[in-house]
């Protein structure tokens, strides 16, 4: 309590009467709450009642007077606004006791104000995330079979929250009969499968009578001492429109690339806002555990949705116009360490290890599309770890005559011989329940096959049911003839990447993206200046006094876009004054990447913005020392 008072959360008042609310006593914490000194109230210089917001004044007075009239001992003001010294308003909760004398006459009013401003603001921020994400929240108590839903969930089904019966029976009555039985069978498998995140797609009846598709993602948040589940929390997303989009794509095969490029930008832009604010909110120590749990569920759901989107976009992109490789020199050992570091938390959670073996005759520096090789490794390592617990996944690289052979091996479930022949076909998984249990689209291995083919190689599997699986893939080998000055070898993953003090020009028209980027960069101790379009950035850089270590350039902006701005910067400014320009883009298509490099950009960062990727790219191109 002392700590709360010290920080101005609670302020005590004694008022003489309710006519002019004359203050007789007030605690020192009023300085923090309202900015005034106690003597300002005690001397009558400041009238308490004059600080109450005009729209709240009548309610505040009437509640107090009614309590006095009814001879109540106390009264409460739930929330009202009161003016701070600078003219802004704070939101407070008030509770007051009425002190009577022996004759029953009120002699004074002793109460306290509790500052609710920050708590309400955090609640509004969480509500905002829920609104923009379109997720409905649900929870299920296994002890009582009580199911609770929020307003957003009710709205998805066309109901008002007051029309919803908070029971399991109500939910079951609306789920499609063909989906209900499989739902509970899959949920039982989830409970015994030690899988972190539950995912399921089913149909549910809208208030108007039609069926909509729901993507349910959640987790058990509380277990009993007997190992049985107590509480489940999850999110529901109406994916009916996505189903319509899929059908539309089939009808519009000739315009697939442009459609998916637009989808990439339109989906990744709001996803950047959702994931960025989730990251920032989770770093707020003022959130309660319940609030953190809700935000984390939203984050997990968003990441799962983004993975599905990425798989679909990549597959469509390669099926439509093929793939143009971006070959350059890179350190193979660093790439393998980078790939495994992405799964650090998952490895630790399941008590796994990863062993990397690179045979001696494998070159240290090779030429190839580093990003595409990493994409294959991520898919295969992810699959191996999904089916591995308390064991080791091995990665082996060896040199063949004109190629490199990679092998990722696990001791997991293994795969039937009959299924192995179909495994690399699109939308194929070993079991129909695999997607629900482990997530994914069934496109991952198809993408790996397409990538290997483009890089002159192949991919295959050797597996035995109940023993484990070994996935092999090959790519054409191109050795670096010389150690190029442009081949940047980053330090081991254990070495801290330090970009402290970098001066960055951020060129971004979207205010939400700007706020997220500023928050990330400031946490990395960078100095950031903002330009809202390419023309502003050009004018800033033309100033001889300007000095930046790097420019982060969005592509789609009004007035002047990122490609045009990069061309103008390079053409109009002396070469030794042009900082490295890195693209920020929600378009992952290769034609877009090629346009960036052709304009003179040196790298690109794909939205949604990830703090780790941002740090890696900035470190790579500014060569900040990582050692103290």
pLDDT digits 0-9 by tens, 47-69:
899 999 999 999 999 999 999 99
- The answer to whether residue 491 sits within a structural domain is no
Residues 349 and 472 in one domain: yes
State what percent of residues in the chain have pLDDT above 90. Answer: 32
Do the domain assignments include residue 40? yes
Q: Are residues 207 and 271 in the same domain?
A: no
CB atoms within 10 A of CB 477: 19
Given 201, 220, 243, the domain boundary residue is: 243
CA distance 459 to 482: 30
> Which of 171-185, 260-274, 455-469, 516-530 has the least mean pLDDT?
260-274
List for the chain the helix, strand, coil content (%; round to 5): 45, 25, 30
Average pLDDT of the chain to the nearest whole number: 82
Provide the domain count of the chain.
Answer: 5
pLDDT digits (tens, 9 = 90+) for 299-356: 777 776 777 777 776 666 666 555 667 788 888 998 999 889 878 878 888 899 999 9
Please check whether residue 494 lies inside any domain of the structure: no
Q: Indicate whether 532 and 414 sit together in one domain.
A: no
* pLDDT value at residue 626: 34
- CATH code of residue 60: 3.30.450.20
Residues 3 and 73 in one domain: yes
Residues 146 and 96 in one domain: no
Do 227 and 260 have their domain in common?
no
CB atoms within 10 A of CB 425: 11
Q: What is the pTM of this model?
A: 0.41
Q: Are residues 456 and 359 in the same domain?
A: yes
- Per-residue pLDDT tens over the stretch 75-100: 988 789 999 999 999 888 888 999 99
Pair (356, 298) in one structural domain: no
- Residue 277: exposure state from Cβ atoms within 10 A (0-12, 13-18, ≥19): buried
Is residue 523 domain-shared with residue 413, that is, in the same domain? Answer: no
- Residue pair 488/619 in contact (Cβ under 8 Å)? The answer is no
Output the furthest CA–CA distance in the chain (Å, rounded). 106
Residue 628 lies in a domain: no
CATH number of the domain encompassing residue 379: 3.30.565.10
Q: Are 546 and 578 in contact (CB under 8 A)?
A: no
Of 274, 298, 319, the position where a domain reaches its end is 319
Residues 207 and 94 occupy one common structural domain = no
Whole-number pLDDT of residue 38: 92
Does residue 300 lie within any of the structural domains? yes
pLDDT of 260 reads 61
How many other CB atoms sit within 10 Å of the CB of residue 393?
25
Q: Are residues 107 and 159 in the same domain?
A: no
Residue 61 domain-assigned? yes
- CATH number (domain holding residue 512): 3.40.50.2300
Domain end, chosen from 225, 243, 261, is at 243
pLDDT given for residue 589 in this prediction: 65
Range of the domain at 401: 328-431+439-476
What are the E-state strand segments in 106-187? 106-115, 136-141, 147-149
State the pLDDT at residue 593: 79
pLDDT for 10 equals 85
What band does 435 get if pLDDT is binned at 50, 70 and 90?
very low
* φ and ψ at residue 47, rounded to 5 degrees: -90, 125
Residues 35 and 75 in one domain: yes
> pLDDT tens-digit profile of 562-571?
999 999 999 9
* Residue 257 confidence (pLDDT): 59
**560 in any annotated domain:** yes
DSSP 8-class letter at 196: S
467 assigned to some structural domain: yes
pLDDT tens per residue across span 106-160 = 999 999 898 887 776 666 555 555 555 567 888 888 888 888 888 888 888 999 9
């Amino acid at each position: 309590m002392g700590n709360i008072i010290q920080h101005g959360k609670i302020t005590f008042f004694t008022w003489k009467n309710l006519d002019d609310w004359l203050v007789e006593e007030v605690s020192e914490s009023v300085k923090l709450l309202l900015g005034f000194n106690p003597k300002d109230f005690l001397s009558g210089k400041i009238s308490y009642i004059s600080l109450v917001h005009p729209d709240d004044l009548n309610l505040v007075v009437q509640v107090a007077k009614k309590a006095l009239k009814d001879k109540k001992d106390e009264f409460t003001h739930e929330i009202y606004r009161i003016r701070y010294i600078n003219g802004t308003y704070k939101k407070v909760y008030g509770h007051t006791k009425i002190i009577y004398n022996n004759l029953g006459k009120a002699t004074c009013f002793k109460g306290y104000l509790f500052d609710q401003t920050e708590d309400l603001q955090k609640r509004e921020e969480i509500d905002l995330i829920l609104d923009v994400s379109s997720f409905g929240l649900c929870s299920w108590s296994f002890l009582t079979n009580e199911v609770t839903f929020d307003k957003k969930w009710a709205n998805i089904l066309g109901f008002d929250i007051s029309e919803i019966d908070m029971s399991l029976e109500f939910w079951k009555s609306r789920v499609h009969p063909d989906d209900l039985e499989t739902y509970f069978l899959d949920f039982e498998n989830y409970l015994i499968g030690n899988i972190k995140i539950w995912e399921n797609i089913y149909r549910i009846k809208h208030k108007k009578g039609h069926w909509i598709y729901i993507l349910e993602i959640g987790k058990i948040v509380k277990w009993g001492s007997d190992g049985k589940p107590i509480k489940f929390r999850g999110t529901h997303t109406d994916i009916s429109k996505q189903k319509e989009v899929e059908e539309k794509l089939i009808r519009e095969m000739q315009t697939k690339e442009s459609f998916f490029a637009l989808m990439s930008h339109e989906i990744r832009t709001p996803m950047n806002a959702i994931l960025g604010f989730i990251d920032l909110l989770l770093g707020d120590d003022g959130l309660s555990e319940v609030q953190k749990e809700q935000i984390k569920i939203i984050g997990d759901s968003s990441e799962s949705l983004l993975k599905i989107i990425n798989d679909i976009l990549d597959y469509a992109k390669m099926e439509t116009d093929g793939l143009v490789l971006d070959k350059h020199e890179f350190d193979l050992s660093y790439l393998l360490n980078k790939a495994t570091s992405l799964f650090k938390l998952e490895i630790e959670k399941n008590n796994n290890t990863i062993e990397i073996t690179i045979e001696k005759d494998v070159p240290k520096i090779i030429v190839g599309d580093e990003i595409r090789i990493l994409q294959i490794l991520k898919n295969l390592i992810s699959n191996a770890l999904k089916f591995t617990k308390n064991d080791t996944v091995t990665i082996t690289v060896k040199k063949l005559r004109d190629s490199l052979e990679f092998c990722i091996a696990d001791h997991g479930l293994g795969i039937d011989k009959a299924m192995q022949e179909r495994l690399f076909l699109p939308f194929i998984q070993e079991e129909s329940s695999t997607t629900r249990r482990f997530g994914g689209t069934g496109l991952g291995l198809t993408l790996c096959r397409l990538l290997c083919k483009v890089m002159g190689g192949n991919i295959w599997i050797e597996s035995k049911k109940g023993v484990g699986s070994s996935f092999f893939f090959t790519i054409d080998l191109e050795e670096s003839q010389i150690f190029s000055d442009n081949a940047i070898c980053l330090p081991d993953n254990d070495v801290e990447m330090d970009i402290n003090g970098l001066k960055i020009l951020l060129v971004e028209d979207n205010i939400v993206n700007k706020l997220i980027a500023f928050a990330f960069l400031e946490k990395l101790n960078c100095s950031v200046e903002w330009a809202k379009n390419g023309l502003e950035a050009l004018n800033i850089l033309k100033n001889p006094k300007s000095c930046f270590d790097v420019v982060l350039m969005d592509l789609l902006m009004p007035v002047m876009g990122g490609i045009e701005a990069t061309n103008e910067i390079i053409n109009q400014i002396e070469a030794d004054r042009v900082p490295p320009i890195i693209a920020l883009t929600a378009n992952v298509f290769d034609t877009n990447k090629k346009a960036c490099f052709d304009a003179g950009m040196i790298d690109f960062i794909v939205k949604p913005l990830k703090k780790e990727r941002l740090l890696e790219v900035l470190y790579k191109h500014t060569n900040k020392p990582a050692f103290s």
